[in-house]
């Protein structure tokens, strides 16, 4: 699946991907912030993009992932 053109999107894969997105962005996966506790930020970057996760007590609060453009 890592090779170019080795994966094809079908109705089943689209449904599975949409379900995964829903599960990953709803409770209990995502937690509400508690401002009386410390936050942890994990950041990872490469030559192609950057990603970060804001967490408390090992539970993700929010995340961001962005690809770099040519200027960046």
- Domain chopping of the chain, boundaries: 11-67
What helix, strand, coil percent values describe the chain, rounded to 5? 20, 30, 50
The pLDDT value given to residue 1 = 57
Q: Tokens 């999107």, residue?
A: 9
CA terminus-to-terminus distance, the chain: 28
Tens of pLDDT along the chain (72 residues) come to 567 777 788 899 899 999 998 887 776 667 889 999 999 999 999 989 999 999 998 888 988 999 998 888
């Amino acid at each position: 699946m890592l090779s170019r053109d080795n994966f094809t999107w079908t109705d089943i894969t689209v449904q599975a991907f949409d379900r995964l997105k829903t599960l990953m962005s709803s409770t209990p996966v995502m937690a509400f912030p508690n401002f009386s506790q410390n936050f942890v930020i994990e950041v990872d970057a490469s030559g192609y993009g950057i990603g970060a996760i804001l967490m408390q007590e090992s539970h993700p609060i929010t995340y961001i992932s962005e690809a770099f453009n040519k200027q960046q």
